[in-house]
Amino acid sequence: MSYTSFLSINNPEGAVKTPSPLLRKKFKDLRKARSTWWEKVFLTRCSLIDNLTGAYLCLVLTGEN
């Protein structure tokens, strides 16, 4: 299992469905190897960390090592 965290502003659910550019870049090679990587996400937890900006911190658990 591996863990990845990323920030989402105002829309954690949308960010979960559409990975941020930084997250896409980080997993670019993995996504080439497994085009369905994003479908392998097992669990995502998002927590509001800043009420003023609506920023969420999301933790993604995948089946990749």
On whether the CB atoms of residues 62 and 4 are closer than 8 A, the answer is yes
Domain ranges of the chain: 2-62
Q: What is the pLDDT of residues 14-35, one digit of tens each?
A: 444 455 555 555 555 544 544 4
Q: What is the pLDDT of residues 1-10, one digit of tens each?
A: 555 655 555 5
∠ CA(50), CA(53), CA(55), 5° rounding? 55
On whether the CB atoms of residues 6 and 20 are closer than 8 A, the answer is yes
The model's pTM is 0.35
